[in-house]
Structures are given as structure tokens and as C-alpha cells.
Chain A
Amino acid sequence: TQLLEQSPQFLSIQEGENLTVYCNSSSVFSSLQWYRQEPGEGPVLLVTVVTGGEVKKLKRLTFQFGDARKDSSLHITAAQPGDTGLYLCAGAPQAGTALIFGKGTTLSVSS
């Protein structure tokens, strides 16, 4: 079974702090996606990374795909209360197979 391990499981920080969450696997993934889920809603896609070593930026969010395509990280600069939510990574081990999701990182940003 190919698992995606996310860490930390919970993160509670103050507005303005920086943070990094991790998504790791012992297996290679053809691509990885990051989603954010807010209470009472379904997950919303933030980014897809497909190339080993790829770095993508989305405003204050920076996503990186490991060179070996087994891990990814999400870095948030100067976190804001609006960043609060559950961050999920997901990947398809091979093209045509279903997405596997990590258990997520619950982020709470207080003002």
C-alpha cells in the first residue's frame, strides 16, 4: 500500500509566522496535489506538481516537489487567519489509478 504521510498533524500559530507542512512517501508518485479544506466544505485544489524538483508559488504559498518525486512540502509565509484549514496532499501512484490522500495537517492561525 502506498501511503502519503503528512506532518505535522496539527499546527497552531500566530498571524505573521511562517510554517512548513510536509507530505512524504516511500513510493514514487507521478504527480502530487495540494488541497485546502475549510469546515463544512469539500477540499479545493491549490496546486499540482508534476516534475521532480519543481517549485510553484501561489501568493504567500510555496510548494515544492522532491527531486525523487516521493515527497512534497508546502511553505506559508506570514500566515493569516484566512489560511486556517485542513491541508491535504494527494497523489496518483500511476496514471489511471485513483488518488491517494494523506490524512492532512490542520492549521489554525490566530490574530
Chain B
Amino acid sequence: KAGVTQTPRYLIKTRGQQVTLSCSPISGHRSVSWYQQTPGQGLQFLFEYFSETQRNKGNFPGRFSGRQFSNSRSEMNVSTLELGDSALYLCASSLVTSGESGEQFFGPGTRLTVL
């Protein structure tokens, strides 16, 4: 079956702009989690959605938001971009919520560069 897909794969924006990233989970998976990965901080949890409801939220400012649609596809939005938002944004899907030891299947990520 098809894996997790993320679009776009690469994105270049300037400070102050906003961006929307998209994630399509594996068919049948209801949980989608988003992570930010940087060399200095590693993988940091942004938020998780399960059946269109936000289940968990990481320690990120309100400029980072997300949503999940009825078909489990998810989007995350970052408003008023800052240089420090440059990172690889990873989406992961799973059958159960991430805290239930279920395997998370990651997409290839979206590489965001903020100039």
C-alpha cells in the first residue's frame, strides 16, 4: 500500500510569509502527527490529530497550527515565518495514537527554508 506522502517536498519562503504543508496518511490510519526536525533540537513534536480532533500539542507558539480532514489528510500552517522556522517538517501516521506504542510511519518530510 502507498506510504505517507507529504507535499511539497521543498519550500523556500521569506520572513513574515505564511506556509501550508500537506500530509496524506496511509489508508486506514486515523492518527497523524507532525514533527519539526532541526540539527540542534532534533525531532520535536508539534501536534497530533486523531479522527479530526487534536489529541496532543507540543510546546510551539500559536503561529503553528494544524487540522485534519474527514479523510484523515492533514495540513499544518505556519504564519509569520521566522528564520528559526527553517527545518524539516515530518508527518507520521499510525493506526492508533502515538502514545499507544503503535508504529508510526513517517513521510519523507518537507524541507522549509526561510530567508
Interface residues of A (CB under 8 A from B): 30-31, 33, 35, 40-45, 48, 50, 88, 90, 92, 94-104
Asked if B107 lies at the interface with its beta carbon under 8 angstroms from chain A, I say: yes
Cβ contact within 8 Å between B101 and A100: no
Cβ contact within 8 Å between A101 and B43: yes
Report how far A20 CA is from B97 CA in the complex, Å: 30
Nearest A residue (CB) for B107: A42
For the complex with contacts A42-B92, A50-B101, A102-B42, 10 further pairs of A-B residues with Cβ separation under 8 Å are A43-B43, A45-B104, A45-B105, A88-B43, A92-B98, A96-B55, A97-B99, A98-B33, A101-B42, A101-B45
Asked if B41 lies at the interface with its beta carbon under 8 angstroms from chain A, I say: yes
CB contact list, B23-48 vs A, under 8 A? 33, 35, 41-45, 48
The digit string for B88-110, where 1 denotes a CB below 8 A from any CB of A, is 00101000011111011111110
A–B pairs, 24, beta carbons within 8 Å: A33-B103, A40-B108, A41-B106, A42-B4, A42-B106, A45-B103, A48-B103, A88-B42, A92-B100, A96-B97, A96-B99, A97-B99, A98-B33, A98-B48, A98-B56, A98-B98, A98-B99, A99-B33, A99-B98, A101-B42, A101-B44, A101-B45, A102-B42, A104-B43
Asked if B8 lies at the interface with its beta carbon under 8 angstroms from chain A, I say: no
Partner of B100, one of A41, A45, A95, A101: A95
Report how far A11 CA is from B44 CA in the complex, Å: 22
Question: With A42-B109, A100-B45 given, is the CB distance from A95 to B92 under 8 Å?
Answer: no
Asked if B16 lies at the interface with its beta carbon under 8 angstroms from chain A, I say: no
CB neighbours (8 Å) of B104 from chain A are 43, 45, 99
CB neighbours (8 Å) of A48 from chain B are 101, 103
